[in-house]
Structure 1
């Protein structure tokens, strides 16, 4: 199977159904040698491998969602399965609409297309303009009593 065919397979999972034993998981982070630690819906964590057909096509990062088949990829005692699908946001949205997405992974996202509502400010709060100034966090903040003591030395 060529890279183009694999990419089409990866992006085109309109009729996706979990097979026997497959589970949804969230990636906790890479552990090296094409292995990733994932957390399943029940809270358990396992080490899984990324098969060679996905390695040059997609990056799996912390927080991404994948479908894991625990029966595949059990090369060693530590590895508990293989990533079968990498889910993109459009796939997750489709699965949520179909009611197949697990509630443990549901997140409350705000609608990014709408800007946040601005709260009305009182005229009294505009008198003090010090809150609007840039604060440099790389420098220690000295109070007035500390700065006057250091000047007198």
Structure 2
């Protein structure tokens, strides 16, 4: 049973990771020193604004949120790495995950996936619900030069 859970966890990591590529790329445009100052200064509202503005480019409003916990690894001989706890909520599906962003790479570790009102779902159904919720939460593509809807 444990192997199924681990395999399900890897599949969910892949689903969320694929969904987060554009968001992570957008977040990486932020000056790392500014992001580190926000994290070390416990400026949760500023980090949430940054995550919201990056997420809303690719997801419907409110689908992706900063989960009010972050950390960073800063050492003299390596590039900084930032970790953000994140939440995805859409279509009765909630996913809680850690997003790690480095200079060239980003990674995701899904902590938990919940489906409202359904406690005993097997891994395959959870994966399918998550995949469907992520697809449904995607913001419609914008035309080049179009302004976002108010």
Q: Same fold (TM over 0.5)?
A: no
Relative contact order higher in (CA < 8 Å, ≥ 6 apart):
2
Report the TM-score range of the alignment, normalised by the length of the smaller protein: under 0.3
**Higher share in helix:** 2
Q: TM-score, normalised by structure 2?
A: 0.22
